[in-house]
Amino acid sequence: MKFYRSHILVGINETSLQAGVEEFLRSLRAELSKHNLQEEVNVLETGPLGFFGRGICLSVYPDNVNYQDVKLDDIPELVEEHFLKGRPVGRLMLDTLGKFTPKFDYQNRIVLRNSGLIDPESIDEYIGTGGYEAWEKVLTQMQPIEIVNEVKKSGLQGRGGAGFPAGVKWSFTAPIDAPQKYVVVNADEGEPGTFKDRLIMEGDPHQLLEGTMICARAVGATKAWIYIRGEYKLCIERLQNAINQCREYGIIGENIFDSGFDLDIEIKIGAGAYVCGEETALIESLEGNRGHPRWKPPFPGVEGLWKAPTVVNNVETLANVPYIIKEGADAYRKRGTPDSPGTKVYTILGDVAHPGLCEVDMGTTLRTIINEHGGGMKKGFRFKAALVGGAAGVFLPEARLDVSMDHSSLKEYAAVLGSGAILVINEHQSIVDILWSILKFFRHESCGKCAPCRNGCQQLYKLITKIKKGNGSMDDVELMLTIAETMFATSFCALGQSPVMVIRSAVEYFRDEFIAITNK
Amino acid sequence: MAKTVNIWIDGQHLEVPDSMTIIEAADKHGVYIPRLCYHPDLPPTANCGVCVVEIEGTPAPKRACCTPVNEGMKITTNSKKLRSYRKTLVEMILSNHDVTCPTCVANNKCELQILANNLGVDPESLPTILDRQPVDESSLSIIRDVNKCISCGRCITVCNEVQTVFAITMTDRGIGSHVDTPFGMGMANSPCVNCGQCTVYCPTGALRERGEIDLVWDAILDPDKHVIVQEAPSVRVSLGEDFGLPLGAVTPKKMYAALRKIGFDSVMDTNFTADLTILEEGTECVAKLKAGEKRPLITSCSPGWIKFMETYYPDLADCVSTAKSPMSMFGVLSKTYYAQENNIDPAKIVSVAIMPCTAKKFEARRPELRDSGFQDTDYVLTTRELIRMIKEAGIDFANLPEEEPDEGMSFYSGAGTIFGATGGVMEAAIRSAYFLVTGEELQHLDIEAVRGLQGVKEAAIEVPGFGEVRVAVAHGLSNARIVMDRVRESLATTGESPWHFIEIMACPGGCVGGGGQPYGNDIASRARRGLSLYEEDRSLPVRQSHKNPEVVKIYERFLGEPLSPLALKLLHTYYFKRSVSDGQVVEQVTEKHTAH
């Protein structure tokens, strides 16, 4: 391997592509060559860098300097000052925005351990960081039941929202004797404000594939599908590239590593329905049908895709698996809380200084996440509420900021971890307006199968619109709660059961706002 | 032996098979759980959410229609919370429903109306969210009013799973989701075969027949018109239930009296032409048997089946009897034979048919069925429409004195009346075909093997001088598919059909379960009506079609003999190939005025 004195990591994502990162890379390389630095400074294209800045962002190692919004015109100055003279360009540095430097605690990451550090399009770099060791281990040294038991022991819970223990899920499917079983990766990330899976897939697609492979081996599935949002173009490209590389290297295919085990992975692109994130609707869609949920039982683990036993897991869940296998369940359990072990990836957005992605231990308080990883409130704004868990989540007010972010602690406040989206809302924003937009979202995304959700979502939208316009009364607010509770009790799937939580939390913590607007 | 489990419903201990759902277990033991989309004949769609019950140990209520029972399950069907949920839910459904109860065809029969009434809901509690859409009136048989649809999905299940016609499905999503035909082109431009099973299972008035009552009243009240009416076999065993008579009451003579009171000029009976059909179809069949024909003969009475065959099995159209249905035979004869015998100008004759069927409305308007020089059958009323007409005329049907029909085309044998039940045409045909082949009468007239509600029935009858005649009977179009696929496959591989003679009826149960029958037309009531037809058969003096004196007379005075040139011209038809996407005619596939 060549040795470089400096590495410039260039984050390639939708934002930087829009900002013209490809031309930027050509100019940057040309400028470095102009100064004869091409043998000393390496330019690496990576996934998300782990912080969110505007435009094109760079990370320079080993200097640990982060730049944001670097323009073509800045290149000569940047190369001359930083790489020739060794003086970082202050005006382009990320921390000039505020007093905040994002915490990049790479040693403590599990899911995002490679994200922003390696080239996501290179399987060699992934292997270089210890990738596919766990895959080799499960194929050559472990029995499928041992894999299931290890994951069970790790206490890994589903990261898609419901938090069902992954090992337990696998243990339903593993013992079934069936001619065909499937693993389906739920990459149909649709919860508003959530983009963790996208960044996991963009930054380190191989880790997801490895987790998927291990799951397939554990339950005896010889085919895995990745059901992914159609909008995630870059993820699709990178995953396809990663799958091709694995096929080429014999990491998947027939008789992998002479173990006698066959596995293939295929990508299926979704068409953008929120309900297809629900596992049975996802399976229907994968089969080519309308994305309508199915009744459970039978659960997909017993009768899923094309009636075959099928394990459906979220991207983040599976991305945890290689670590668990490699380091062991005990090492994994050292992180997080006893009943929610491990780490969680959050997307912090809204009125924080630094919206973005962070991976922290389960049980970290909401306050810590917002202040230390989101950089606190945007300058000049006061905190009012955080919407935790996306549209299917709850509002938490300032008094609840010290809640430990794990399944059991959140349950006490009738809240859920959900997808890990944290939308921070400032004091000037109206909860009624935000609730309106959430209920508009539900109305749009209800699949229409069952009467409570189909009619209820429309009624809720009409009522909140009336309230928002100042034409409503507190009776309308109560009616909304009655409808939402009926929807919770009678809806077919989780979609229709969800609006009650967000409405109840809005009315419970911000009743004054409803009183004010209905008294207009 | 199925395993049983112990469950407790509202404290009542029950031991039930573990294969049951909660609602099945409750129904079996007389506990009524409120429901809307669930129907015992159909797999649950689980769309409405009304049947939710509380199960001890589960955080949220569960649907009783699709939750299997479990050992030790403790179920509450009625609690303060459940009552409140159901009420709010039905209020929500009503807020998206075109509430026109007093004038709706489904009034007093509508399951939504009854449920709302039972639960005491307030229809005004929620503002309407109905987004009014145009009514689909394209079809000659079935009107589809999306504004009354509650998206329960029963019609889709019936159409796609029971009938395998695939004319309708769910489209769009959320509040805009609705039942629609392919590409939203309307029922007339879909593979719909007009069987009307969707109208039977629709819990509201969203699906109904195209009404022709007013047109019939106009004809009756026009002094220049001579209005002649015929009634299908199954109508006489389905009318009474709506007037408080027991299910399956046999009421032909009250029916004649009611029709005469309504004002029809001549009251005849389709059963007469049912007997005539046996002579034509039976002769066709016997000719085939004698010729050692390898291809089967299939019945042609059911118009839903005929359009289905034209759409999905046009390659086998030459196997289908060319004999017109009893209704169409009656129609053409009413404007030829009847007109001639009674000296009436056929242009003044209005021929009305009372049918258990919505597809007959389509059949009556087939352009090829005009062999009398006019449209052979002018109007078709379903059983439901006749009930409404009787009510409109203020007739006390239950207490009406019995009357005889008019003579000429009304006498019928027991063989004619069992046409209304699945297997009946087959049984009637065997009774006469045996005579036509052997010249001897069949000793035992009850052919039990072709009776009953099994989807596909098979039998082999030993006919002296010929050998074994193998027959099959299918009812419900998914069963028709099973039979037709076997015929097609067998013809392709061995060149020989597994059966000589096949009866197919579009509707499960045959005509007693037709798409035009009274509301509440479930499998159990179809079975009961079918039994009534067999009871009537046993009670009749003549039980074989070829012994019907009026049939003998029509051949003597008018037609000559079965399959005579005049019979072929008036009583036989031909078939088309239709598109599977829009049901339109692609090409004619069999010859005019021939027998197969």
Distance of CA B518 to the CA centre of its chain: 10
Supply the CATH classification number for the domain A123-333: 3.40.50.11540
pLDDT tens string B33-42: 999 999 999 9
Q: What is the pLDDT of residue A122?
A: 93
**Domain B4-78 indexed as CATH 3.30.70.2190:** no
Res A326: pLDDT = 96
B458 is catalytic: no
CATH number for the domain formed by residue range(s) A343-426 = 3.10.20.600
Residue pair B282/B276 in contact (Cβ under 8 Å)? The answer is: no
Q: What's chain B's average pLDDT?
A: 95
Q: Tell me, what's the ipTM?
A: 0.91
With a cut of 50, say whether residue B586 has pLDDT above it.
yes
pLDDT, mean of residues B429-437: 92
Interface of B with A in 517-536 (CB under 8 A): none
Does 3.40.47.10 match the CATH number of domain B105-206? no
**pLDDT value of position B273:** 97
Q: Is the pLDDT of residue A105 over 80?
A: no
CB proximity B173 to A under 8 Å: yes
> Is any Cβ of chain B less than 8 angstroms from the Cβ of A457?
yes
Report the candidate in B292, B235, B314, B293 with the shortest Cα–Cα distance to residue B267.
Answer: B235
pLDDT of residue A118: 87
> Considering chain B, what percentage of its residues have pLDDT values greater than 90?
94
pLDDT, one tens digit per residue, over B270-326 is 999 999 999 999 999 999 988 988 999 999 999 999 999 999 999 999 999 999 999
Angstrom distance (rounded) from CA B109 to CA B420: 24
Q: What count of Cα atoms within 13 Å lies in the side-chain half-sphere of residue A78? A: 27
Q: Is B321 a catalytic residue?
A: yes
Residue range(s) of every CATH 3.30.70.20 domain in chain B: 105-206
pLDDT score of A54: 80
Give the type of residue at B504: I
Predicted pLDDT at A99:
42
Q: Measure in Å the smallest separation between the Cα of B127 and chain A Cα atoms.
A: 8
Span A479-506, mean pLDDT? 96
pLDDT band at A101 (very low <50, low <70, confident <90, very high): low
Q: Phi/psi of residue B499, each to 5°?
A: -130, 150
- The residue assigned the tokens 């429903």 is B97
pLDDT-derived band of residue A53, with 50, 70 and 90 as boundaries? confident
- Confidence band (pLDDT; 50, 70, 90) for A48? confident
Q: Is B357 a catalytic residue?
A: no
Closest CA to B271 of B421, B379, B440: B421
Taking one residue from A and the other from B, the number of pairs with CB-CB distance under 8 angstroms is 102
- What six digits make up the tokens of B244? 């408080």
Check if B368 is active-site.
yes
Rounded mean pLDDT, A389-405 = 94
B468 forms beta bridges with B462
Mean pLDDT along residues B131-154: 96
C-alpha torsion angle, residues B174, B180, B184, B186 (rounded to 10): -150
Strand partners, A67: A58, A93
The CATH class of the A431-518 domain is mainly alpha
Q: What is the pLDDT of residues A405-429, one digit of tens each?
A: 999 999 888 888 888 999 999 999 9
DSSP per-residue string spanning B58-107: -SS-EETTTPBP-TTEEEES--HHHHHHHHHHHHHHHHTS---GGG-TTT
The helix or strand, by DSSP H or E, that contains position A478, with its residue range, turns out to be helix A474-490
Rounded Cα distance between A508 and A426, Å, is 18
Nearest CA in chain A to B131: A458
The answer to whether residue B341 is catalytic is no
Residue A49 has pLDDT above 80, yes or no: no
CATH architecture for residues A6-97? 3-Layer(aba) Sandwich (3.40)
> How far, in Å, CA of A432 to CA of A502, rounded?
11
Q: What is the pLDDT of residue A96?
A: 45
Please state, in angstroms and rounded to a whole number, the distance separating the CA atoms of residues A391 and A404. 20
CA angle A131, A132, A136 (to 5 degrees): 145
Rounded CA-CA distance A155/A334 in Å is 11
Choose the catalytic residue: B212, B284, B536, B550: B284
Q: Which residues contact A371 (CB under 8 A, 6 or more apart)?
A: none
Q: Where in chain B is the domain with CATH 3.10.20.740?
A: 4-78
| pTM, 2 dp | 0.89
Mean pLDDT of B10-23: 95
Asked if residues B409 and B333 have their Cβ atoms less than 8 Å apart, the reply is: yes
Neighbours of B124 (CB within 10 A): 10
Share of chain A above pLDDT 90, in %: 74
On whether the CB atoms of residues A207 and A124 are closer than 8 A, the answer is: no
Q: What is the DSSP string of B423-489?
A: THHHHHHHHHHHHHHHSS--S----GGG-SS-SEEEEEEEETTTEEEEEEEEESHHHHHHHHHHHHH
State the pLDDT confidence band at A134, using cuts at 50, 70 and 90.
Answer: very high
**Of the candidates A116, A109, A122, the residue with the CA atom closest to the CA atom of residue A59:** A116
**What is the DSSP track for A247-263?**
HHHTSSBSSGGGSS--B
Spell out which residues of chain A touch residue B52, defining contact as CB-CB under 8 Å.
Answer: 489-490
Average pLDDT for residues B425-430, to the nearest whole number?
Answer: 95
Residues 41-60 of B with CB under 8 A from A: 44, 46-50, 52, 60
Instruction: Output the CATH code of domain B214-588.
Output: 3.40.50.1780
Question: Which residue in chain A has the smallest CA separation from B85?
Answer: A486
pLDDT at B454 over 80: yes
- B202-213: average pLDDT: 96
